């Protein structure tokens, strides 16, 4: 592959991931022949991303800002993503890190019926500006890059002190290498709730993972001020809803999400009266599983209003 072709492919990938160009080129070089330019997650990794981001990361505050505070909000607080089949490498703003720790790492108070955070999640490696999170009981890895270990430890210590004062057990500290019994119970409950998607479970996880790995499309050309996502079970599958304020219009987002080589296996089934309508939800179906549907809703804020 010539350098010009490699750069063109990397630039295309960056539209979905917001990676820096050289990073995208390096990631592409590491892919096995025939792998999509934005690699799909293995099923266990897709399940992991679904559990973390679709059920834990909603409303992370702030979703993210650049160092100068000027950037728009990003989906789940993720500024950049480097997707791999067995891991998701992300960068987050310093301002986002404390809330991400609170939402992801598990804690438990004996008087409460549930574990807070993601049961079984533990820091498995803290290196030079890189923190890896993994699960004790099953595959899945999230690698947070660009965060200094000292910053990570300060945020972790602050959250641990708050938990201690409130009578919670920080399970990554009290049970670092094995699951707490309450975590086991909650993992079984999550699995039982997840089965409400029935035979559509795999496609739901893969589509959510695919959207997370392409979250920059909602800021393509013009940054959105807010991006929201939720999932509703349906009688014959599931409905995934994404709503974003300002930023690119429906047409731009749909063209990117359905593009060859970098897009997802989706097709429009309900385009409404106009794909440029500022409020209409446009429906797409998963080609491999029409019971899984994605609805996209674009809003434009009035100056002075907040989404």
What is the model's pLDDT at position 282?
85
How many Cα neighbours within 13 Å face the side chain of 45? Answer: 19
Tell me the pLDDT tens digit for each residue of 38-52. 999 999 999 899 888
Residues 6+ apart with CB under 8 A from 37: 9, 12, 13, 28, 31, 261, 262
Distance CA 60, CA 75 (A): 9
Distance CA 171, CA 262 (A): 39
What is the model's pLDDT at position 194?
60
Tell me the pLDDT tens digit for each residue of 60-109. 444 444 444 444 345 567 889 999 999 999 998 777 888 888 889 999 99
What is the model's pLDDT at position 305?
57
Of 103, 151, 108, 110, nearest to 128 by C-alpha is 151
**DSSP SS3 for 209:** helix
Tell me which residues of the chain have a pLDDT lower than 70: 55-76, 190-196, 235, 271-280, 302-307
What is the model's pLDDT at position 32?
92
What is the model's pLDDT at position 164?
93
What is the model's pLDDT at position 68?
44
What is the model's pLDDT at position 39?
96
| Residue 197: count of CB within 10 angstroms of its CB | 19
Cα 114–144–26 angle (5° rounding)? 145
pTM: 0.87
**Under a CB-based contact definition with an 8 Å cutoff, are residues 297 and 281 in contact?**
yes
Residues 6+ apart with CB under 8 A from 18: 79, 80, 81, 216, 219
């Amino acid at each position: 592959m010539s350098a010009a072709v490699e750069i063109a492919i990397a630039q295309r990938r960056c539209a979905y991931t917001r990676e820096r160009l050289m990073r995208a080129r390096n990631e592409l070089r590491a892919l096995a022949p025939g792998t999509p330019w934005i690699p799909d997650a293995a099923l266990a990794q897709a399940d992991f991303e679904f559990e973390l981001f679709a059920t834990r990361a909603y409303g992370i505050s702030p979703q993210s800002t650049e160092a100068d505070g000027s950037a728009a909000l990003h989906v789940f607080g993720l500024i950049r993503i480097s997707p791999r089949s067995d891991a998701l490498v992300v960068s987050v703003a310093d301002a986002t890190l404390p809330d991400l720790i609170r939402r992801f790492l598990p804690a438990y108070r004996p008087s409460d019926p549930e574990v807070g955070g993601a049961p079984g999640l533990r820091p498995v490696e803290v290196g030079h500006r890189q923190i890896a999170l993994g699960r004790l009981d099953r595959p899945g890895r999230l690698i947070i890059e660009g965060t200094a270990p000292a910053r990570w430890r300060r945020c972790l210590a602050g959250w641990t002190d708050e938990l201690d004062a409130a009578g919670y057990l920080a399970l990554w500290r009290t049970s670092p290498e094995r699951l707490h019994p309450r975590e086991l119970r909650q993992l079984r409950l999550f699995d039982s709730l997840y089965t409400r998607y029935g035979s559509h479970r795999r496609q739901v996880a893969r589509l959510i993972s695919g959207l997370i790995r392409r979250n920059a499309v909602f800021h393509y050309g013009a940054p959105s001020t807010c991006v929201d996502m939720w999932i509703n079970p349906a009688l014959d599958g599931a409905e995934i809803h994404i709503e974003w304020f300002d930023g690119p219009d429906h047409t731009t987002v749909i063209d990117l999400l359905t593009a060859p080589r970098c897009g997802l296996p989706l097709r429009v089934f309900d385009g409404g009266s106009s794909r440029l309508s500022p409020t209409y939800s446009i429906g797409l179906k998963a080609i491999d599983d029409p019971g899984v549907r994605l609805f996209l809703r674009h809003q434009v804020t009035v100056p002075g209003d907040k989404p």
